[in-house]
Structure 1
Amino acid sequence: MGILDGKVALITGASRGIGAAIAEEFGREGADVVITARSSNDQPGKLPGTLEETAAAVVAAGGRAHTVVADLTSEADRERIVREAMERFGKVDILVNNAAVTFFQAGAELKPSRAQLMYDIQVMAPLHLTQLVLPGMRERGTGSILNITSWESKHPEMPPSRFNAKGTTTVYGMIKAALDRLTTGFAAEVFNDGINVNALRPARLVATPGPVFHGVLKADDPSAEKPEVMARAAVVLCSATPEKVSGRVLESEDVLTQWAPTAQGGTRNHD
């Protein structure tokens, strides 16, 4: 039996990278997964990976998958994603807000329209999707919401600083900081409803198609974190109760070091 047997997970940005790895790992642990992204066989993106490829990996791992091609900037599409999840599997137990679009430009140069796009996908979409799945989670008295964040959300030391020296992650960091605050706020709101809400960030840069495409790192960089580390940490957090862990912004390797899955599907704190 898997840790997530009987659970239904909705994962955004799941055509490649961290989202695809989480979907596959959830399927391996027994979850049914609803995966959404813009890239499909009919509408391929600039980067490798499609929803159909992720769905095939989920099935190969032993799970079931339903794909939804959608634009997360659209309120109607966000509602359709959840509606299709309900029609296909009857519920949503786990929401993983992973989708992101990032422009690595200095804050002084980034076009407002691009900043708005980043905000809509990485803050407004998680907010709205959370609002859409919460009623069902509250009714059942259980649920998990996981927001994928970044260590760029941390405030750098004051200048002169090596952190963000060129300012290319100023807006990205601002948006991830907003996502972190959304996480802790919702965790407080729903703690007594049996729902945990956490944010997870990689301990190091992850070798996914996005950073490789932008030249941030090489695909074979030995210092890069593997997507599977984030995926395993996501399983741990999404199988926990709010009493065990909620309202936290955690790094992947710390999660795997400090918490271990129990036979009941929860977590055991090693602190």
Structure 2
Amino acid sequence: MGSMDGRTALVTGASRGIGQRIAERFAAEGAAVAVVARTAEPGTSALPGSIEEVVAGISERGGRAAAIRADLTVPAEVETIVTRAEEALGPIDTLVNNAGVNFYGPALDIRPNRYALMFQMMVHTPFRLCQLAIPGMIERGHGWILNITSKQARHPLGPPYPDWAADGCVPYGMCKSALDRLTTGLAAEVYGTGVRINCLGTSGLVMTPGVAVVSPHTPDNTPVEPDDAMAEAAVVLCNSHADTGRIAYSMELLGRPFPDGPWALSATY
């Protein structure tokens, strides 16, 4: 018996990285999982991983999953995600807004189209998916929303400012700050309905396929986080009946120390 037996989860950005790990862990805990991302098939992205591969792996291990291909920067496609997932697997009672994107560089140099794309994927789309999923959760009397945040959402203390405050992540941090506020605000609005809404971020570097792309832009000497920490923390928060409106970080939530070495470039996913 798993901790999520009989549940149905929807995880965005689940073709690789943290989203894939959360989807696979939820399936191992007994949930049926809608695996959502833009990359449907192997070899159609510059990065490894696809939703078809993730679903195949879950199925091979005896789990139940469905591939839901959608571009999360296109509002018309976002509108269909919850309906398609529920048609395939049944009513959604767990939503993980994980998909993200970052363009590093000084805030004054970020092109408007990139800024708009980041906000669409990491703010507007999670907001809309919450609007689409929460009414059904309220009707059924239970549900869990988990928004994946970042320590980049925190305000840097200064002056003088720490090095990380000028590492080219201002728009990304703005998006994650908005996601944090969405989480706490929605948690307050639906409090007492049985729907719990929380944020979860990494405590350190997670070795995802995207790290090779972003690591040259990030400072040194931050510990590497174990691969399973985010997925384990996600299971904790998506089974809790007490936590809501919480902004948590994986290793701290789990009470786990960082392992001794290796130390690596700092990135937050």
Q: TM-score, normalised by structure 1?
A: 0.89
Letter of the 2:47 partner, please give it. L
1:257, 1:213 → 2: CA distance? 30
In the alignment, structure 1 residue 152 sits paired with structure 2 residue 138: no
- The one-letter amino acid of 2:252's match is D
SS for the counterpart of 1:225 is coil
Question: Any stretches of 5+ residues in structure 2 without a counterpart?
Answer: 257-269
Which amino acid is the alignment partner of residue 89 of structure 1? L
Contact 1:27 / 1:61 at 8 angstroms: preserved in 2? no
Structural mapping, 1:228-267, within 5 Å: 228-241=228-241, 244-257=242-255
- Could you tell me which residue of structure 1 aligns to residue 164 of structure 2? 164
Aligned-residue offset at 1:34: 0.2
The residue that corresponds to 1:264 in the other structure is: none
Cα distance in 1 for residues equivalent to 2:251 and 2:42: 36
Letter in structure 2 aligned against 1:156 = P
Partner of 1:44: 44
1:180, 1:160 → 2: CA distance? 26
Percent identical? 46
Q: CA deviation at 1:166?
A: 3.3
Shift in Å, 1:126: 0.3
Q: Deviations over 1:44-94 (max 9, x none)?
A: 211111111211232234321100111112222112111111111220000
Inter-partner Cα distance in structure 2 for 1:45 and 1:97 = 21
Give the conservation status (yes or no) of the 8 Å contact 1:30–1:62: no
Q: Is the 8 A contact 1:27 1:59 kept in 2?
A: no
Q: How many residues align?
A: 254
In 2, the alpha carbon distance for the partners of 1:59 and 1:216 equals 36
Deviates more, 1:70-79 or 1:125-134: 70-79
Letter in 2 for 1:137: M
Separation (CA, whole Å) in 2 of partners of 1:225 and 1:254? 11
Summarize the Cα distance change of 1:161–1:217 in structure 2 as closer, same or farther, 3 Å threshold: closer
Cα distance in 2 between the residues matched to 1:30 and 1:217: 39
Given that 2:42 and 2:50 are in contact with CA atoms closer than 8 Å, whether structure 1 keeps it comes out as no
Judge conservation of contact 2:187–2:197 (CA < 8 Å) in 1: yes
Which residue of the partner structure matches residue 267 of structure 1? none
How far did residue 228 of structure 1 move?
1.5
For residue 193 of structure 2, what is the aligned residue in structure 1?
193
CA–CA separation in structure 2 for the residues paired with 1:190 and 1:257: 29
CA distance in structure 1 between the partners assigned to 2:163 and 2:88 by the alignment: 45
TM superposition score normalised by structure 2:
0.89
Displacement after TM superposition at 1:165 (Å): 4.6
Backbone CA RMSD of aligned residues = 1.9
Q: Which residue of 1 aligns with 2:112?
A: 112
| Structure 1 residues 171-190: aligned runs within 5 Å | 171-190=171-190
Whole-angstrom CA distance in 2 between matches of 1:139 and 1:216: 47
DSSP-derived class of the 2:11 partner: strand
TM-fit CA distance, 1:214: 2.2
Residues 143 and 195 in structure 1, CA contact (< 8 A), matched pair in contact too? yes
Matches within 5 A, 1:55-204: 55-204=55-204
SS in 2 for 1:9: strand
8 A Cα contact 2:156 2:165, kept in partner? no
| Deviation digits for residues 92-145 of structure 1 (CA, Å, limit 9, x no counterpart) | 000000000110111011111101100000000000000000111011000000
1:208 aligns to what SS in structure 2?
coil
The secondary structure found in structure 2 opposite 1:199 is: strand
Partner amino acid for 1:143?
Answer: G
Q: Which blocks of at least 5 consecutive residues in structure 1 are unaligned?
A: 259-271
Q: Is the 8 A contact 1:146 1:238 kept in 2?
A: yes
Identify if the C-alpha distance between structure 1 residues 165 and 200 changes in structure 2 by more than 3 Å, giving closer, same or farther: closer
The whole-number CA distance in structure 2 between the counterparts of 1:226 and 1:37 is 24
Q: Is the 8 A contact 1:148 1:201 kept in 2?
A: yes
Kept in 1: contact 2:66–2:89 (CA 8 A): no
Q: Secondary structure at the match of 1:181?
A: helix
